[in-house]
Structure 1
Amino acid sequence: MSSGSLLALFGAMLIVALVPGPAVLAVIARTFSSGFSRGLMMIIGITLGDFIFILLALFGLSIISEILGTTFLIIKYASAAYLIWLGISLFKSKSSAEDIKVSKESSLLANLITGLMINLGNPKAIVFYIGLFPAFIDVNQVVTVDVMTIMGIATIAFGSVNICYALLALRAKKMLNNPDASSLINKTAGTIMVSTGALVAIKA
């Protein structure tokens, strides 16, 4: 793979990453309500999902998405239901001065798994990668180093953008450091989370 191809691939992924989707909305809501560490764990889970889809696309295993269609569907609706449940819990929660600092209603591992489920619940991401890669690389000549490089590019492109969104949410949260703002944040994050869950559920 040439440096030019890698740079072009990075640019294409970065452009796609900048467009907010269900994963970005979930990261923003989670960071807004529970702090950066939990938002970061969700980002890691989303990135792991990208790794899985990259491997499937590069090695021509998109057929697996059809064979496991029902499994992907279950994951999709399970992640949507969980996001909606989290959103309702946040919306109904009572706020105090401490709520704005950190909310520990879910573990770091739970947030990582949620991010992974959100991504795996969208098997059409494989189609995105299958359509993207041939324009920049010869998929028939891909070796291990190429795979690792592509994963690195995806991590930087999607991960950096998601982290920026999380940091913006964190900054907004710190600017509203009082009980009334905490209530507003919880309700806003809850609304975003419920909307994200609904979007995940209805997205084709």
Structure 2
Amino acid sequence: MDPSTLLIYAVTLGVACAVPGPTTAALVARVLGRGTQGALAFCGGLLFGDLLWLSATVLGLAMLAATLQPVFVVIKYAGAAYLLYLAWRLWTAPAAAPVEAQPVRGEGLRLFLTGLSVCLGNPKTTLFYLALLPTLIDLPHLTWVGFTEVAATLVAVYTTVLTLYVVLALRARRMFRSPQAMRVINRGTGAVMAGAAVAVATR
């Protein structure tokens, strides 16, 4: 693929990913409240959702997916419901000095599915792949090599953006060491995550 086309796609995708929204708000709230535990699974779900949208667009299935909107609405509400549950857990968490949360059996899969459902039901993501992507890349003439390049660019750009959000949130979390500060952080991030869930559900 022409390097200039790939560069334009990477820049456009990077801007679209970096613009704060419900998904990044939920990710930052999760890291502030619980550290990095589960962040990888949530980010993996987001990334896998984008790869599914990219594949569907390239294969010409995006319009079919758009006609199945009721299915995506259900998926979106399921993700929003789990975000609300996480928000409640943060809000009611006991005050304690910040420690890395211990793994909970099955939580990684739930967070992965939450990230996936939030991505698949996000209108901004749908708009990017249905309306913007075809203007950036000549999809009818895209070869398998070209698709691999586009997918690899997506993974690199999205991983970079999400990693930056996680690192910044983790640094902010380490600034607050007392149990009282952590109570404020937990309740504040719980409120942010609840707001993200409402934003996801109402979009």
TM-score by length of 1: 0.91
What value does the CA root-mean-square deviation take over the aligned residues?
1.6
Show the counterpart of 2:115: 115
SS in 1 for 2:101: coil
- Aligned identity (percent) is 31
Show the counterpart of 1:71: 71
Unaligned runs of 5+ in 2: none
Show the counterpart of 1:127: 127
SS in 2 for 1:36: coil
Show the counterpart of 1:161: 161
Question: What is the CA distance between 1:134 and its match in structure 2?
Answer: 2.7
- Give, in whole Å, the separation in 2 of the partners of 1:161 and 1:124: 16
Show the counterpart of 1:35: 35
Question: What is the CA distance between 1:49 and its match in structure 2?
Answer: 0.3
Question: What is the CA distance between 1:125 and its match in structure 2?
Answer: 2.2
Show the counterpart of 2:88: 88
Greater Cα offset, 37-46 or 123-132: 123-132
Q: How many residue pairs end up in the alignment?
A: 201
Question: What is the CA distance between 1:4 and its match in structure 2?
Answer: 0.6
TM-score by length of 2: 0.92
Judged with a 3 Å threshold, the aligned counterparts in structure 2 of structure 1 residues 118 and 178 are, in CA distance, closer, same or farther, namely: same
Question: What is the CA distance between 1:197 and its match in structure 2?
Answer: 0.2
| Contact 1:44 1:115 survives alignment (8 Å) | yes
- Give, in whole Å, the separation in 2 of the partners of 1:105 and 1:26: 19
Show the counterpart of 2:101: 103
Opposite residue 71 of structure 2, the aligned amino acid is: T
Opposite residue 101 of structure 2, the aligned amino acid is: S
| Contact 1:90 1:187 survives alignment (8 Å) | yes
SS in 2 for 1:64: helix
Show the counterpart of 1:9: 9
Unaligned runs of 5+ in 1: none
Asked if 1:143 corresponds to 2:169, the answer is: no
Which string of whole-angstrom CA distances, capped at 9 and with x for unpartnered residues, describes residues 162-190 of structure 1? 11011111011111112111111111110
- Give, in whole Å, the separation in 1 of the partners of 2:94 and 2:37: 22
Show the counterpart of 2:59: 59
| Contact 1:26 1:192 survives alignment (8 Å) | yes
| Contact 2:80 2:200 survives alignment (8 Å) | yes
Greater Cα offset, 46-55 or 111-120: 111-120
- Give, in whole Å, the separation in 1 of the partners of 2:200 and 2:157: 22
| Contact 1:5 1:137 survives alignment (8 Å) | yes
Greater Cα offset, 194-203 or 104-113: 104-113
Opposite residue 73 of structure 1, the aligned amino acid is: V
- Give, in whole Å, the separation in 1 of the partners of 2:82 and 2:108: 15
Opposite residue 118 of structure 1, the aligned amino acid is: V
